[in-house]
Amino acid sequence: MGSARRSRLGLGNPRGVARVAVAAALVAAGVSVALSGCAGGSRVSGSITVFAAASLTSTFTELATEFEAANPDTSVVLNFAGSSDLVTQITEGAPADVFASADTRNMAKLGDAGLLSGDAVNFASNTLTIAVPPGNPAGIKDFADLAAPGLKTVVCAPQLPCGAATVAIETATGVTLKPVSEESSVTDVLGKVSSGEADAGLVYVTDVEAAGESVTGISFDEAGAAVNTYPIAAVDGAGNGAGNGSGNGELAAAFIDFVTGPVGQRVLADAGFGAP
């Protein structure tokens, strides 16, 4: 509910950025008061299953724990995979109450299939960064360096959200990469870089953050040309007749509010995610 109020405020004041920020802060304070109220009164209860993109693994694991702590009678079951895998699973009747996607395209697929109850809310964003092995042996400084002949650059295949973002940056910069591999997941790109097989790879800022010492991130200005937006929505199982999820719409809404609320936004920001 807090998030709904906040987004209305945001929409209502497109000009006064500072004022929106102040208002958001006030509302955020309101939400935390509301949440602590929840914790005392146990407004919601039961169990829900949340399907979330693989890049949200650590943040959503932490968020689920915090949500359960704030709402003692609840339990959040998590399932992580690539966004398109999750869409396939939900379409085939897997029990999901909430879906958090790494891109708007996969969320739209679920919407088109009539499997969402209510609208999707954007809760985070992610940009690409250059990942290199520790010490940056190839001496890469910016995006254009990745096109150097003989350099082993690894990217995501264009079919994936991270690959689509890579293509968008190539188009924006006019730099055409000649990757030695187009991997099937961002994890595979990271693996090729951290093992030293590749000289550089394009991954998300949050991936570098999570990888710790095993890779070094090199941010580049053109990354802003492709910002990936993460939407979250409640799943409506009635759409495919299979009856997804627990049917606990109230708890699903509470979890979505939690993710879009101050605790969720803090955890996401700590992991390197941008504002939605």
Q: Which positions touch another protein (CB under 8 A)? A: 82, 84-85, 88, 152, 154, 157, 159-160, 179-184, 188, 191-192, 195-198
CB of 105 to another protein, least distance (A): 9
Token couple for 188: 């595979």
CB of 165 to another protein, least distance (A): 14
CB of 187 to another protein, least distance (A): 10
Does 204 count as an annotated binding residue? yes
Does 186 count as an annotated binding residue? yes
Which of 154, 252 has the CB closer to another protein? 154
Rg of the chain taking only CA atoms, in angstroms: 20
Which of 19, 178 has the CB closer to another protein? 178
Which of 196, 243 has the CB closer to another protein? 196
Phi, psi of 194 (to 5 degrees): -65, -30
Which of 27, 193 has the CB closer to another protein? 193
Report the chain's terminal Cα–Cα distance, integer Å.
18
Which of 62, 182 has the CB closer to another protein? 182
C-alpha to C-alpha distance for 148 and 164, rounded to whole angstroms: 21
Residue pointed to by tokens 């509301």:
34
For β-strands 153-156 and 181-183, DSSP reports them as: parallel
CB of 52 to another protein, least distance (A): 17
Helices marked H in the chain — which ranges?
2-12, 17-41, 57-70, 83-91, 104-112, 161-173, 186-194, 205-211, 249-260, 262-270
Which has the closest alpha carbon to 133: 194, 202, 211, 192?
194
Q: How far is CA 275 from CA 100, 123, 145, 195, in A?
A: 15, 7, 29, 31
Which of 3, 194 has the CB closer to another protein? 194
Cα 41 to chain centroid, rounded? 31
CB of 197 to another protein, least distance (A): 5
CB of 28 to another protein, least distance (A): 36
Tell me the one-letter amino acid at 175: V
Does 32 count as an annotated binding residue? no
Sign of CA dihedral 72, 78, 83, 85: negative
Residue pointed to by tokens 């809404």:
253
Phi, psi of 189 (to 5 degrees): -60, -50
Does 7 count as an annotated binding residue? no
Which of 5, 105 has the CB closer to another protein? 105
CB of 58 to another protein, least distance (A): 21
Annotated binding-site positions for molybdate: 55, 83, 186, 204
Annotated binding-site positions: 55, 83, 186, 204
